[in-house]
Amino acid sequence: MSKPPIRVLHITEMLSAAGIESFIMNMYRNIDKDKVQFDFLVLRNQKEFYDEEISNLGGRKYYVHSNISNTWVRILDEANQIEKFLKEHHYDIVHIHYTTPLRAPYLLAAKRAGVSTRIYHAHSAAVSGKSKVKMAVYKYYRSKIIKWGTDWFACSIAAAEWIFPQEYVNNNEVKIVYNGIDTNRFKYNEEIRKRIRTELGLSDNFVLIHTGRFIDQKNQSFVLDIFKAIKQKCPKSKMVFLGTGDLLREIEKKAESLGIKSDVFFLGVKDNVQDYLSAADCYIMPSLYEGLPVAAIEAQCSGLPCVMSENITREVALTDSTKFLALNEPADVWANEVLKYKKFQRVDSAHVIADKGYDVLSVSRWLENYYLEHAGEE
């Protein structure tokens, strides 16, 4: 009789079609599920984008939920619920994914519940504009992540330096786990490009694309400002948004107020993002902050030139066709940089992404072996 797979519990805020969840699912699809299975603990009870796929892959989804409005108190309440859950469900490995140090109490919950391997995974670089009080809390929890955790992962050096004490980064005690993607899936496809452009009626327009949740971090409002400036210089231009989120209606209204709504496509969540990347001509990402964005890797894999904010780590620049601009530069400056790629000669960059270690097969194999080596450790 074969040995059952070890089960790893991933704790993440939600299971929507977003960056962190995309990374986890890329790993899940490609690990050997006869050896390692994933379960998920999320912070809300509702049907989500990946629910059906997780069930089909053999995973289980659980949730804890707190109605407390104060963020710090709510996290402590969630931690208490997580501790109770873990005492009722045995796991050797808990893998926590977040963008700040604030979820450190989850590590303590896992420790108290007897979980032997407690991983904290940093998915974002520094967040600006936080109060002195909040930054003091972050500093406090950085030290607790080390005390309560056993293993520390980050998607980039920038993310590692944001979440963990600098000496741990300098001593290579934080493992950089690349946001691996399916490079074959995101390879540029000329035939699909023609089909999507025909479906959307894009003809010979210059097409920008942006993918991501509609939240403050992603700065879609500024994307529209840039696109309006582009339209004034290049009337035959179109803008494609993929994603959904709390700010979607607000952004749609702004597109209307700017007089560009008819040239902007809000296409929602798509399971064939790669097709729309093939159809586009330039990718734009003026985020306020990121860790190492999966979406930008996917865009580069598709051979798209990418214009991104300087707030994003340069570690994401895997091809030569990337440009970083300051967010305080006016939209007109961004527009000029984007338009430099108007006659860009598209090339297949999938092999470049794979050669630099971002292929999902190599990353998932590393993670699988890591889990197997740490299962049952005391």
Res. 287: pLDDT tops 70: yes
* pLDDT value for 95: 98
Quote the Cα angle for 35-10-359, to 5°: 65
Overall average pLDDT of the 18-38 stretch: 91
Burial (0-12, 13-18, 19+ Cβ within 10 Å), 80: middle
**Per-residue pLDDT, 261:** 96
pLDDT beyond 60 at 243: yes
pLDDT band at 127 (very low <50, low <70, confident <90, very high): low
Calculate mean pLDDT across residues 59-73.
92
| 155 close to 23: Cβ distance less than 8 angstroms | yes
Measured in whole angstroms, the distance separating CA 203 from the mean position of its chain's CA atoms is: 31
State the Cα–Cα distance between residues 220 and 212, nearest whole angstrom: 9
Q: Is 378 exposed, middle or buried (0-12, 13-18, 19+ CB in 10 A)?
A: exposed
Cβ atoms of 108 and 23 closer than 8 Å: no
Give the residue among 3, 12, 20, 2 at the shortest CA–CA distance from 42. Answer: 12
What pLDDT is attached to residue 378? 47
If you count them, how many residues does the chain have? 378
pLDDT value of position 48: 81
Same fold? 6-180+359-374, 190-356: yes
pLDDT value of residue 221: 97
Query: In the CATH hierarchy, which top-level class contains the domain 190-356?
Result: alpha beta
- DSSP 8-state class, residue 293: -
Taking alpha carbons only, the member of 307, 301, 255, 293 closest to residue 277 is 301
Three-state SS for 39?
strand
Of the listed ranges 122-131, 286-295, 351-360, the least confidently predicted one is 122-131
Give the C-alpha distances (Å, rounded to integers) separating 19 from 15, 16, 25, 27, 350.
10, 9, 10, 13, 19
Specify the CATH superfamily of domain 6-180+359-374.
Glycogen Phosphorylase B; (3.40.50.2000)
Q: pLDDT by residue (tens digit) across 303-357?
A: 999 999 999 989 899 999 999 999 999 999 999 999 999 999 988 899 999 999 9
The string of DSSP codes covering 211-263 is ES-SSGGG-HHHHHHHHHHHHHH-SSEEEEEE---TTHHHHHHHHHHTT-GGG
- Residue 376: pLDDT band with limits 50, 70, 90: low
Give residue 350's Cα distance to chain centre. Answer: 19
Domain ranges of the chain: 6-180+359-374, 190-356
**Residue 106 backbone dihedrals phi, psi, to 5 degrees:** -65, -35
Q: How far apart are CA 156 and CA 154, in angstroms?
A: 5
Tokens representing 242 are: 């993929």
**pLDDT tens column, 154-192:** 998 989 998 999 999 999 999 999 988 999 999 999 999
**pLDDT grade, residue 149 (50/70/90)?**
very high
**CA-based nearest residue to 10, from 315, 1, 20, 327:** 20
- The per-residue pLDDT for range 95-116, each reduced to its tens digit, is 999 988 889 999 999 999 999 9
Average pLDDT, the chain: 92
* The pLDDT value given to residue 318: 95
